């Protein structure tokens, strides 16, 4: 879904997802509903040591004003929470790519997560600590505001309570929430990072199931959406770490294979099919004047109609928009780039010429690593 850039803090782009823009009016209505105002008015009144004027809070369009201010204040608080993570990451010289606000809160995207347990621990807890600090500042505001400032007092008091609840909820050990990352960091103190991730991910998926069941019983779509997010993110993180471990220490040049089977770009489709049968290969590197310019596979051929097969050449069929990478690039980074580009292969430029790497090459390398247990290149 589309994101909109709203500002930049410390060089970090702050973006708002369209899901949040759609949800904000709903959230404002939910907060400003009579039951919510009545419930929180008692809590805020207790914090302020005074009784809030419910009639004034619920009169006319005031509930909409209260709900809108509280909803916007909540996502300002979420932004500060994510900036807490970002500040801690930057203290360790880690690059923060962006912060995105969406329907379930905020996401700080890091170029690379640290594997040192202490770094991940402090980056993870920095967000909840920031939320508690924001809650404390809001509480100080509640004590400083006059009792006559009913609307402001309610909104600031609501934010004080909500920020503390935000910190507490984020510390639930449901990986990849903050509490789950803290759990992984503590597990990684005395076990391999991949093993710690698997354990934290399993606990995260267990919480996802609990959230889904509770969300279904209470008819809470947001809780069900959160459960789906936790499940997908936990399993995805576990898979990513496992792949990273299997490719650790390898460059893409170690994984890539030399260009052995080639076909000229101006060859006919009929020539290509003959070559596929003769060489028993479903994939060829395409060359033009001795230079590698693309890749063609049997899947590309299958997508052609009969008329196209008779009229087209390999140049019409091949995939040309392939990523180009240096041979000394880390293998895992190359796999991520290949997936991001949604390409079937990548061209690897090294001192001994251009090689080709496909997902099958990565799969073979990881399977060899898993079977042999070696930590070095092949």
Name the β-bridge partners of 99.
14, 108
Q: At what angle do helices 150-170 and 34-48 cross, to 10 degrees?
A: 90
Q: At what angle do helices 193-217 and 221-247 cross, to 10 degrees?
A: 170
Supply the residues annotated as catalytic: 82
Task: Determine the Cα–Cα distance for residues 315 and 239; give it in Å rounded to an integer.
Answer: 36
Which is it for the CA torsion 346, 347, 351, 352, positive or negative?
Answer: positive
Neighbours of 265 (CB within 10 A): 19
Q: Answer whether 240's CB lies under 8 Å from 339's CB.
A: no
Q: At what angle do helices 117-144 and 62-91 cross, to 10 degrees?
A: 150
Strand locations in 176-223, DSSP E?
A: none
178 known member of a binding site: yes
85 known member of a binding site: yes
Q: By C-alpha distance, which of 316, 302, 305, 315 is closest to 273?
A: 302
254 known member of a binding site: no
Six-digit token pair at 369? 């690593």
Q: By C-alpha distance, which of 236, 303, 245, 238 is closest to 269?
A: 303
Using DSSP's 3-state secondary structure scheme, residue 319 falls into strand
Task: Determine the Cα–Cα distance for residues 357 and 133; give it in Å rounded to an integer.
Answer: 50
Task: Determine the Cα–Cα distance for residues 192 and 200; give it in Å rounded to an integer.
Answer: 12
Q: By C-alpha distance, which of 175, 352, 154, 181 is closest to 253?
A: 352
Task: Determine the Cα–Cα distance for residues 187 and 181; give it in Å rounded to an integer.
Answer: 10
What are the binding residues? 81, 85, 178
Annotated binding site for Zn(2+): 81, 85, 178
């Amino acid at each position: 879904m589309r994101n909109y850039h709203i500002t930049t803090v410390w060089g970090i782009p702050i973006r708002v997802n369209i899901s949040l823009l759609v949800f904000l009016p709903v959230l404002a209505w939910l907060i400003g509903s009579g039951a919510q105002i009545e419930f929180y008015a008692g809590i805020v009144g207790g914090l302020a040591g005074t009784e809030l004027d419910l009639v004034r809070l619920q009169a006319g369009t005031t509930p909409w004003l209260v709900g809108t201010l509280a909803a916007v204040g909540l996502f300002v608080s979420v932004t500060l929470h994510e900036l807490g993570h970002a500040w801690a990451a930057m203290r360790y010289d880690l690059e923060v790519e962006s912060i995105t606000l969406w329907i379930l809160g905020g996401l700080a995207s890091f170029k690379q997560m640290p594997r040192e347990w202490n770094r991940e621990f402090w980056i993870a807890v920095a967000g909840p600590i920031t939320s508690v600090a924001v809650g404390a500042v809001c509480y100080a505001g509640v004590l400083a505001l006059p009792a006559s400032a009913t609307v402001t007092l309610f909104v600031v008091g609501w934010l004080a309570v909500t920020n503390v609840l935000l910190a507490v909820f984020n510390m639930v050990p449901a990986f990849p929430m903050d509490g789950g990352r803290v759990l992984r960091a503590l597990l990684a103190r005395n076990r391999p990072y991949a093993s710690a991730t698997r354990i934290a991910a399993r606990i995260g998926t267990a919480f996802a199931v609990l959230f889904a069941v509770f969300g279904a019983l209470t008819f809470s779509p947001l809780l069900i959406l959160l459960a789906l997010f936790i499940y997908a993110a936990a399993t995805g993180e576990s898979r990513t770490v496992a792949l990273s471990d299997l490719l650790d220490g390898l460059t893409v040049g170690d994984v890539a294979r030399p260009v052995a089977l080639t076909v000229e770009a101006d060859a006919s489709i009929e020539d290509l099919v003959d070559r596929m049968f003769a060489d028993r290969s479903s994939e060829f590197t395409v060359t033009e004047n001795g230079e590698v310019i693309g890749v063609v596979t049997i899947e590309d051929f299958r997508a052609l109609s009969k008329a196209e097969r008779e009229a087209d050449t390999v140049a019409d069929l091949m995939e040309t928009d392939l990523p180009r990478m240096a041979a000394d690039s880390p293998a895992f980074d190359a796999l991520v780039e290949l997936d991001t580009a949604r390409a079937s292969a990548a061209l690897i430029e090294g001192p001994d010429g251009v090689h080709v790497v496909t997902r099958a090459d990565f799969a073979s390398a990881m399977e060899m690593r898993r079977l042999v247990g070696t930590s070095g290149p092949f």
